[in-house]
Amino acid sequence: MTVHVVDLQHCPAQPWRNGGGLTRELLTWPQPDGWQLRVSVARIARSGPFSPFPGVQRCFAVLHGQGVRLDLPGGARAVTAADSPLSFDGEAAPMCHLLDGPTDDLNLMVHRDAGHAVMHRATPGSDIDGPTRWRALFAVAPARLDVGDRSQVLAAGTLAWSDDADGSAWRLHDGGPALWMWLEA
Listed range (27-31, 78-82, 84-88) with the worst mean pLDDT: 27-31
| Structure confidence at residue 134 (pLDDT) | 93
Q: Which residues, including other chains, have CB under 8 Å from residue 133's CB and lie 6 or more apart? A: 114, 115, 163, 165, 182, 183, 184, 185
Mean pLDDT of 30-59: 91
CA-wise closest residue to 36 among 91, 114, 116, 108: 114
| Structure confidence at residue 19 (pLDDT) | 77
| Structure confidence at residue 170 (pLDDT) | 95
pLDDT-above-90 percentage for the chain: 82
Q: Which CATH superfamily is domain 11-113 in?
A: Jelly Rolls (2.60.120.10)
| Structure confidence at residue 116 (pLDDT) | 94
Instruction: Please determine, for residue 101, whether its predicted confidence score (pLDDT) is greater than 80.
Output: yes
The rounded distance, in Å, linking the Cα atoms of 17 and 3 is 33
What does the DSSP assignment read for 25-80? EEEEES-STT-SEEEEEEEE-S-EEPPP-TTEEEEEEEEESS-EEEEETTEEEEE-
| Structure confidence at residue 33 (pLDDT) | 75
The model's confidence at residue 38, banded by pLDDT at 50, 70 and 90, is: very high
| Structure confidence at residue 84 (pLDDT) | 96
The model's confidence at residue 185, banded by pLDDT at 50, 70 and 90, is: low
Region 117-184: CATH code: 2.60.120.10
Mean pLDDT of 43-55: 93
Domain boundaries, the chain: 11-113, 117-184
The model's confidence at residue 100, banded by pLDDT at 50, 70 and 90, is: very high
Reported as a single tens digit per residue, the pLDDT across 138-159 is: 999 999 999 988 999 999 999 9
Mean pLDDT of 28-32: 84
- Rounded to a whole number of angstroms, the CA Rg of the chain reads 16
Q: What angle do CA 11, 87, 16 make, to 5 degrees?
A: 40
The rounded distance, in Å, linking the Cα atoms of 114 and 182 is 12
| Structure confidence at residue 1 (pLDDT) | 74
